[in-house]
Amino acid sequence: MDVQQLHSILLVDDDEVTNFYVEHLIRKMKLADNVHVEMTGRDAMDYLYQVMKDGGENLPQLILLDINMPVMNGFEFLEEFEQSVVASKYNGKIYMLTSSALDLDKQRAARFSFLNGFYTKPLNTSMLGEIAQQFGHPAA
């Protein structure tokens, strides 16, 4: 079956092993043509600002965002994103990823109405399949 891929996914996580694994899953499942990785929320926001400066046509359709990162964590990213010009133009989906199963994190995440979901790491093909379905892809 030939499934149309997303043109771009932004993976924001400071763990290189996690990034390698998730990028491998994305490619194995043929979810995206391009996976862009940033190691901090700050770098991810700077990347999104640059994409906007370049016209905004290449904004990622999906952002997978870790909570615990140095410099700017996932919640700080969401707070800046919410107030940014990027948010006003963004029509993709954002999912938060965490190695923590704290209810407090889930409650805090629920404050962001534009956040599409919350997953506990490690992300697996089943979870990515659920996310892919939101874009019209068949489940994994």
CA distances to 19, 33, 109, 112 from 12, in Å:
8, 17, 16, 17
pLDDT per residue as tens digits for the range 30-67: 999 899 999 999 999 999 999 999 999 999 999 999 99
In a domain, 77, yes or no: yes
Backbone angles phi, psi at 63, to 5 degrees: -120, 125
CB atoms within 10 A of CB 4: 10
| Residue 53, token pair as written in the block | 């400066």
Could you tell me the residue range of the domain that residue 58 belongs to? 9-133
Backbone angles phi, psi at 108, to 5 degrees: -65, -40
Inter-residue contact 24 to 48 (CB < 8 Å): no
Number of independent structural domains in the chain: 1
Q: What is the CATH number for 120? A: 3.40.50.2300
| pLDDT at position 136 | 80
| pLDDT at position 138 | 67
The answer, yes or no, to whether residue 22 has pLDDT greater than 80, is: yes
The answer, yes or no, to whether residue 2 has pLDDT greater than 70, is: no
In a domain, 139, yes or no: no
Backbone angles phi, psi at 100, to 5 degrees: -95, 140
Inter-residue contact 100 to 109 (CB < 8 Å): no
Planar angle of CA 124, 128, 131, nearest 5 degrees: 150
In a domain, 28, yes or no: yes
| pLDDT at position 54 | 96
The answer, yes or no, to whether residue 1 has pLDDT greater than 50, is: no
Planar angle of CA 132, 134, 139, nearest 5 degrees: 45
pTM as predicted: 0.93
pLDDT per residue as tens digits for the range 72-114: 999 999 999 999 999 999 999 999 998 876 788 888 999 999 9
The answer, yes or no, to whether residue 71 has pLDDT greater than 90, is: yes
In a domain, 56, yes or no: yes
The answer, yes or no, to whether residue 131 has pLDDT greater than 90, is: yes
Of residues 48 and 1, more confidence is placed in 48
Inter-residue contact 54 to 22 (CB < 8 Å): no
CA pair distance 59, 91, nearest whole angstrom: 9
In a domain, 66, yes or no: yes
Averaged pLDDT for residues 18-30:
94
In a domain, 4, yes or no: no
